[in-house]
Amino acid sequence: MNDASKSLIDFFKGWPNPSLLPAAQIKRASDSVLSNPSVSTPALLYGPDPGYEPLREQIAQWLTKFYTPKEIIPPSRICITGGASQNMACVLQVYSDPIYTRNVWMVAPTYYLACRIFEDAGFYGKLRDIPEDEEGIELAHLKKEMNKSEQKAKAEGNNKPTLKPSRQWSKIYRHIIYAVPTFANPSSKTMTMRRRQELIRIAREYDALVITDDVYDFLQWPTATTSQQLSLDKAVLPRLVDVDRQLDGGPKMAKLDGFGNAISNGSFSKIVGPGCRTGWAEGTEKFVHGLSQTIRGSSRSGGAPSQLTATFITELLRTGNLQDHILRTLQPTYARRYRKMILAIDEHLVPLGVMISQSGREVVGGYFIWFSLPKPLRAEEVAATAKDTENLIISPGPAFRVDKAMFESEIRVCFSWEKEEKLSEGIQRLANVIRNLLDSGSNPLSFEI
């Protein structure tokens, strides 16, 4: 029975706490835009295919400062989207064919809502999981399975796209790979530089498009709980799209077609607010042009996505208010939240046999912590018991499965949503559940959910 005297603690919801939403800054930005007809008029009309040009320019400058690539990022590599999820659907519309594109390979555990996007694009039954190790995606497994997929396609005569017309500004990739390389949801892992380079080489070899959700990159801080530093203004690693741009001569090599093999899916949901429904995509100029035509095809009567909101965010970036919000509010606040939760885990869960992945990193970030339960406990049993007896909501590992891997012993907890003063208490409640189940000799075979 649920203890009614205990208030709900929600470690499931991957949202920003309302106290972190920059409402005052957005109000100032919107007032500035709407009081200036030279800006408000285009803001309220249909926008150009690649999106609001001043925002593309601001994003290009901002990303160049943060990721410090060897070459500056020009606006021509950027197009404005309606957010990371909407953009993924648009990418699939023009760059995949549910028959010719052999499979979608997803780093597992995966962001579970991404599965629905791929299935809605015609890939139901074609999603395949690729496990992670301490460096990220296991590339030997990926390459072995892609070889099998190619052999199957050859045997079936699947050698050209059948459902999409040939267009000069697009192409159809043979494979799609999906990953969250930095501070992943749910595993919170960060893919090493070596794996990033190797993944790009494999993508080129097998004509694969790597779609990366780079939505947590700006939310980062030093791992050490004793560090006085709570924010970082430079990226911990280059993105896959940066690696693709430079590695071995980049997409402009004669043997490649210029579209590239990686696209960065960016979003303002985690750093402004989910309600703004605005994001960006970065890729080669050729790829971004094709993507802008996709958006045009699916929403031609509505113009560029998020045109009005794009003008507000442009003002946030132009004035430096967004950059200041990230460095002075978001990063320090999430660093404190993470440290409170990780200290509670070390004190209350680790002695019970819980193990945390990638514990040796110097920089961490994102919204989540992922850990393994002591045997023989099952995540679904622990989650159900936590809700029933402690009024605590957590995410069991099987929710993040793709194909075969079940993650029956893993748990994801989120530190971004719940009140900061509730984080330690929630972990203590979880410790009560784990301890009681271990003491009772929990039989994992007897539990069904």
Phi, psi of 106 (to 5 degrees): -115, 125
What is the phi-psi region of residue 136: left when phi exceeds 0, alpha when psi lies from -120 to 50, beta otherwise?
left
The predicted pLDDT at position 242 comes to 98
Q: Which pLDDT belongs to residue 2? A: 57
Residue-level pLDDT at 446: 43
Q: What is the mean pLDDT of the chain?
A: 93
Looking up tokens 């694009």 gives 121
Structure tokens at 154: 């050859």
**pLDDT score recorded for residue 445:** 41
Tell me the per-residue pLDDT of 74-126, one tens digit each, with 9 for 90 and over: 999 999 999 999 999 999 999 999 999 999 999 999 999 999 999 999 999 99
pLDDT at residue 312, as a whole number: 98
Query: What does the pLDDT look like over 278-287, one tens digit per residue?
Result: 999 999 999 9
pLDDT > 50? residue 5: yes
pLDDT at position 254: 65
Q: What is the mean pLDDT of residues 128-148?
A: 96
pLDDT, tens digit, 9 for 90 and up, residues 329-346: 999 999 999 999 999 999
Number of residues that make up the chain: 449
Which of these ranges, 21-25, 54-58, 132-136, has the smallest mean pLDDT? Answer: 132-136
pTM, two decimals, is 0.95
What's the mean pLDDT in 1-9? 78
Is the distance from CB of 326 to CB of 271 less than 8 angstroms? yes
